[in-house]
Amino acid sequence: MTGQRDDWPFGEFFSGGFGPRFWSFRWPEGGRGPRRRRHQVFESGEVKYVILRLLKEKPRHGYEIIKALEERMGGCYTPSPGTVYPTLQLLEDQGYVRAVETEGKRVYHITPEGQAFLEEHRDLIDEILERVRDTVRGFAGGQMGELNQAFARIAAATYKQAWRLGPDDPAVAQMAELLRKTAEEIEKLRGSTVREQEGSTK
Protein backbone atom coordinates (compact mmCIF):
# COMPACT_ATOMS: atom_id res chain seq x y z
CA MET A 1 0.00 0.00 0.00
CA THR A 2 1.63 3.24 -1.10
CA GLY A 3 1.32 6.56 0.67
CA GLN A 4 0.58 4.96 4.05
CA ARG A 5 3.17 4.48 6.78
CA ASP A 6 3.22 1.12 8.47
CA ASP A 7 5.09 2.39 11.52
CA TRP A 8 3.43 3.73 14.63
CA PRO A 9 5.73 6.57 15.65
CA PHE A 10 4.43 7.29 19.14
CA GLY A 11 6.45 5.10 21.48
CA GLU A 12 9.75 6.47 20.16
CA PHE A 13 9.40 9.54 22.36
CA PHE A 14 9.43 7.46 25.55
CA SER A 15 12.15 4.95 24.75
CA GLY A 16 14.51 6.17 27.48
CA GLY A 17 13.03 3.97 30.17
CA PHE A 18 11.29 6.76 32.08
CA GLY A 19 8.37 8.80 30.90
CA PRO A 20 4.58 8.77 31.01
CA ARG A 21 4.56 4.95 30.91
CA PHE A 22 6.80 4.81 34.00
CA TRP A 23 4.89 7.28 36.12
CA SER A 24 1.46 6.06 35.01
CA PHE A 25 0.30 9.20 33.24
CA ARG A 26 -2.83 8.74 31.16
CA TRP A 27 -4.95 11.12 29.19
CA PRO A 28 -8.47 10.28 30.29
CA GLU A 29 -10.86 9.00 27.69
CA GLY A 30 -11.96 12.09 25.82
CA GLY A 31 -9.52 14.18 27.84
CA ARG A 32 -7.34 17.04 26.75
CA GLY A 33 -3.72 16.66 25.83
CA PRO A 34 -1.10 19.16 24.73
CA ARG A 35 -1.94 21.04 21.52
CA ARG A 36 -5.41 19.49 21.67
CA ARG A 37 -7.00 21.64 24.34
CA ARG A 38 -10.38 21.67 22.63
CA HIS A 39 -10.33 18.16 21.22
CA GLN A 40 -10.08 14.54 22.24
CA VAL A 41 -7.07 12.35 21.49
CA PHE A 42 -9.21 10.84 18.74
CA GLU A 43 -12.17 12.64 17.25
CA SER A 44 -15.55 10.94 17.01
CA GLY A 45 -15.44 7.98 14.66
CA GLU A 46 -11.65 7.91 14.28
CA VAL A 47 -10.96 4.96 16.58
CA LYS A 48 -12.40 2.53 14.04
CA TYR A 49 -9.67 3.41 11.56
CA VAL A 50 -6.97 2.84 14.14
CA ILE A 51 -8.48 -0.48 15.21
CA LEU A 52 -8.64 -1.62 11.60
CA ARG A 53 -4.97 -0.71 11.19
CA LEU A 54 -4.15 -2.91 14.17
CA LEU A 55 -6.20 -5.79 12.78
CA LYS A 56 -4.49 -5.38 9.41
CA GLU A 57 -1.24 -6.29 11.18
CA LYS A 58 -2.71 -9.43 12.76
CA PRO A 59 -5.93 -10.76 14.31
CA ARG A 60 -6.50 -9.67 17.92
CA HIS A 61 -9.12 -10.00 20.62
CA GLY A 62 -10.50 -6.92 22.35
CA TYR A 63 -8.05 -6.76 25.24
CA GLU A 64 -5.12 -7.17 22.84
CA ILE A 65 -6.40 -4.21 20.86
CA ILE A 66 -6.58 -2.08 24.01
CA LYS A 67 -3.04 -3.03 25.05
CA ALA A 68 -1.64 -2.64 21.53
CA LEU A 69 -3.04 0.86 21.21
CA GLU A 70 -1.69 1.76 24.64
CA GLU A 71 1.71 0.46 23.55
CA ARG A 72 1.69 2.38 20.27
CA MET A 73 0.76 5.55 22.16
CA GLY A 74 3.76 5.22 24.44
CA GLY A 75 1.50 4.59 27.42
CA CYS A 76 -0.10 8.04 27.14
CA TYR A 77 -3.58 6.88 26.25
CA THR A 78 -5.60 3.78 26.98
CA PRO A 79 -8.95 3.38 25.25
CA SER A 80 -11.75 2.16 27.47
CA PRO A 81 -13.55 -1.14 26.80
CA GLY A 82 -16.66 1.01 26.38
CA THR A 83 -15.01 2.51 23.29
CA VAL A 84 -13.28 -0.54 21.82
CA TYR A 85 -15.97 -3.22 22.03
CA PRO A 86 -18.85 -1.17 20.57
CA THR A 87 -16.49 -0.10 17.77
CA LEU A 88 -15.63 -3.73 17.05
CA GLN A 89 -19.32 -4.57 16.94
CA LEU A 90 -19.90 -1.70 14.50
CA LEU A 91 -17.04 -2.86 12.29
CA GLU A 92 -18.43 -6.40 12.37
CA ASP A 93 -21.91 -5.15 11.45
CA GLN A 94 -20.39 -3.23 8.55
CA GLY A 95 -18.57 -6.34 7.34
CA TYR A 96 -15.09 -4.88 7.87
CA VAL A 97 -14.09 -7.46 10.50
CA ARG A 98 -15.20 -10.96 11.41
CA ALA A 99 -15.01 -12.54 14.84
CA VAL A 100 -13.71 -16.07 15.28
CA GLU A 101 -14.15 -17.91 18.58
CA THR A 102 -10.66 -19.01 19.62
CA GLU A 103 -9.95 -20.57 23.02
CA GLY A 104 -13.03 -18.94 24.47
CA LYS A 105 -12.22 -15.48 23.10
CA ARG A 106 -13.63 -13.56 20.16
CA VAL A 107 -10.64 -12.88 17.93
CA TYR A 108 -11.23 -10.25 15.25
CA HIS A 109 -9.90 -10.59 11.71
CA ILE A 110 -9.99 -7.88 9.07
CA THR A 111 -12.03 -8.85 6.02
CA PRO A 112 -11.32 -8.04 2.36
CA GLU A 113 -14.00 -5.34 2.69
CA GLY A 114 -12.08 -3.94 5.67
CA GLN A 115 -8.87 -3.95 3.65
CA ALA A 116 -10.60 -2.04 0.88
CA PHE A 117 -12.04 0.42 3.40
CA LEU A 118 -8.54 1.13 4.74
CA GLU A 119 -7.21 1.65 1.23
CA GLU A 120 -10.06 4.01 0.42
CA HIS A 121 -9.35 6.12 3.52
CA ARG A 122 -5.56 5.83 3.66
CA ASP A 123 -5.04 9.60 3.46
CA LEU A 124 -7.39 10.17 6.39
CA ILE A 125 -5.63 7.48 8.42
CA ASP A 126 -2.24 9.06 7.71
CA GLU A 127 -3.66 12.40 8.85
CA ILE A 128 -4.97 10.88 12.10
CA LEU A 129 -1.65 9.22 12.90
CA GLU A 130 0.34 12.33 12.04
CA ARG A 131 -1.88 14.46 14.27
CA VAL A 132 -1.48 12.08 17.18
CA ARG A 133 2.27 12.00 16.54
CA ASP A 134 2.30 15.79 16.97
CA THR A 135 0.27 15.50 20.16
CA VAL A 136 2.68 13.00 21.69
CA ARG A 137 5.70 14.98 20.48
CA GLY A 138 4.22 18.07 22.09
CA PHE A 139 3.98 16.24 25.37
CA ALA A 140 7.52 14.87 25.18
CA GLY A 141 9.21 18.11 24.14
CA GLY A 142 9.82 21.58 25.53
CA GLN A 143 9.08 22.27 29.17
CA MET A 144 7.16 19.01 29.42
CA GLY A 145 10.28 17.19 28.29
CA GLU A 146 12.28 18.93 31.02
CA LEU A 147 9.64 17.97 33.57
CA ASN A 148 9.78 14.37 32.37
CA GLN A 149 13.58 14.29 32.75
CA ALA A 150 13.42 15.82 36.23
CA PHE A 151 10.83 13.29 37.32
CA ALA A 152 12.91 10.45 35.89
CA ARG A 153 15.92 11.62 37.88
CA ILE A 154 13.92 11.77 41.11
CA ALA A 155 12.43 8.33 40.50
CA ALA A 156 15.78 6.76 39.65
CA ALA A 157 17.55 8.31 42.65
CA THR A 158 14.74 7.36 45.04
CA TYR A 159 14.50 3.72 44.03
CA LYS A 160 18.27 3.34 43.79
CA GLN A 161 18.73 4.59 47.35
CA ALA A 162 15.78 2.61 48.69
CA TRP A 163 17.09 -0.56 47.09
CA ARG A 164 20.50 -0.08 48.67
CA LEU A 165 19.12 0.78 52.10
CA GLY A 166 16.43 -1.88 52.31
CA PRO A 167 12.73 -1.49 53.15
CA ASP A 168 13.25 -1.26 56.93
CA ASP A 169 15.80 1.54 56.90
CA PRO A 170 14.45 4.77 58.51
CA ALA A 171 15.80 6.77 55.56
CA VAL A 172 13.20 5.14 53.30
CA ALA A 173 10.41 6.62 55.40
CA GLN A 174 12.20 9.97 55.30
CA MET A 175 12.30 9.81 51.49
CA ALA A 176 8.59 9.03 51.38
CA GLU A 177 7.84 12.01 53.61
CA LEU A 178 10.02 14.27 51.46
CA LEU A 179 8.18 13.16 48.34
CA ARG A 180 4.81 13.77 50.00
CA LYS A 181 5.85 17.31 50.94
CA THR A 182 7.11 17.91 47.40
CA ALA A 183 3.79 16.71 45.99
CA GLU A 184 1.92 19.08 48.28
CA GLU A 185 4.08 22.01 47.12
CA ILE A 186 3.46 21.10 43.48
CA GLU A 187 -0.28 20.91 44.09
CA LYS A 188 -0.17 24.43 45.53
CA LEU A 189 1.47 25.78 42.36
CA ARG A 190 -1.75 25.59 40.38
CA GLY A 191 -3.62 27.70 42.89
CA SER A 192 -0.92 30.36 43.03
CA THR A 193 -0.68 30.48 39.23
CA VAL A 194 -4.43 30.97 38.89
CA ARG A 195 -4.39 33.77 41.48
CA GLU A 196 -1.50 35.48 39.66
CA GLN A 197 -3.39 35.30 36.36
CA GLU A 198 -6.55 36.68 37.93
CA GLY A 199 -4.57 39.51 39.52
CA SER A 200 -2.94 40.46 36.23
CA THR A 201 -6.34 40.85 34.55
CA LYS A 202 -7.68 43.28 37.14
- The predicted-structure confidence for 183-193, as pLDDT tens digits, reads as follows 999 888 865 55
Strand partners, 77: 27
Percent of the chain surpassing pLDDT 90: 42
pLDDT at 78: 77
Biggest CA-to-CA distance, the chain: 65
Amino acid in position 2: T
CA dist 110 and 56 (Å) reads 6
Q: What is the DSSP letter of 76?
A: S
DSSP letters, 99-126, are EEEETTEEEEEE-HHHHHHHHHTHHHHH
Which has more pLDDT, 104 or 15? 104
Q: Does the structure show a pLDDT above 60 at 126?
A: yes
CA-based end-to-end distance of the chain: 58
**Confidence band, pLDDT 50/70/90 cuts, at residue 58:** very high
Amino acid at 165: L
Evaluate if residue 49 carries a pLDDT over 70. yes
The answer to whether residues 82 and 40 touch, using CB atoms and an 8 Å cutoff, is: no
What does the mean pLDDT of the chain come to?
A: 76
Q: What is the pLDDT of residue 5?
A: 42
Residue (of 43, 8, 29, 26) closest to 83 by Cα position: 29
Stretch 171-193: mean pLDDT, rounded? 86
CB distance 24 to 161 below 8 Å: no
User: In the predicted model, what is the mean pLDDT of residues 119-143?
Assistant: 77
Q: Which of 121, 57, 63, 61 is nearest to 92 (CA)?
A: 61
Q: What's phi and psi for 109, nearest 5 deg?
A: -120, 140
Dump pLDDT digits (tens) for 73-101. 766 677 889 989 999 999 999 999 999 99
The pTM assigned to this predicted structure is: 0.55
